[in-house]
A and B are shown apart, each in its own frame.
Chain A
Amino acid sequence: MPAGDKWVDKNAGPVVRPYALTGGRTQPVSGTVLDLIAVLVASTWDQGFDDVALSPEHRRILGLCRAPVTVADVASTLALPVGVVRVLLADLIGEGRITVLAQRPAGEQPSAALLKEVLHGLRAL
Chain B
Amino acid sequence: MGSAPSDSTAGVPLAAFKILIAGGFGAGKTTLVGAISEVRPLHTEESLTRASVGTDDLTGVGNKTTTTVAMDFGRLTMGTHLVLYLFGTPGQERFWFMWDELSYGALGAVVLADTRRLVDCFPSVDYFEKRGLPFIVAINCFDGAPTYDPEDVRVALDLDPRVPAVLCDARKRDSVKQILITLVEHVLASRIEEKEDSTEEESGGTEFPFQAAPVPDAAPDPAVSQA
Residues of A bordering B, CB below 8 Å: 17-20, 24, 26-27, 31-33, 35-39, 41-45, 66-68, 70, 72-73, 75-76, 79, 81-84, 86-87, 99-102, 104, 106-110, 112, 114-119, 121-125
Contact = CB atoms under 8 A, between A and B. Distances in A.
A107 B184 contact: no
Contacts, number: 163
B145 interface: no
B206 A115 contact: no
B45 A125 contact: no
B206 A68 contact: no
Contacts of A32: 211
Nearest to A20: B225
Contact of B75 (A68, A73, A99, A123): A73
Nearest to A84: B45
Nearest to A68: B14
A109 B42 CA distance: 24
B212 to A, nearest CB: 9
B162 interface: no
Interface in B184-223: 184-185, 187-188, 191-192, 204-211, 215-216, 218-222
Nearest to B192: A112
B92 interface: no
A44 B3 CA distance: 11
* Among A35, A67, A84: residue with most chain B CB under 10 A: A35
A116 B188 contact: yes
B78 A67 contact: no
A81 B43 CA distance: 5
B8 A72 contact: no
Contact of B102 (A20, A36, A76, A109): A36
22 contacts: A19-B224, A35-B104, A44-B6, A66-B8, A70-B83, A72-B73, A79-B41, A82-B43, A83-B218, A99-B4, A100-B1, A102-B16, A106-B208, A106-B209, A107-B204, A107-B209, A108-B105, A115-B184, A119-B184, A121-B79, A122-B181, A123-B181
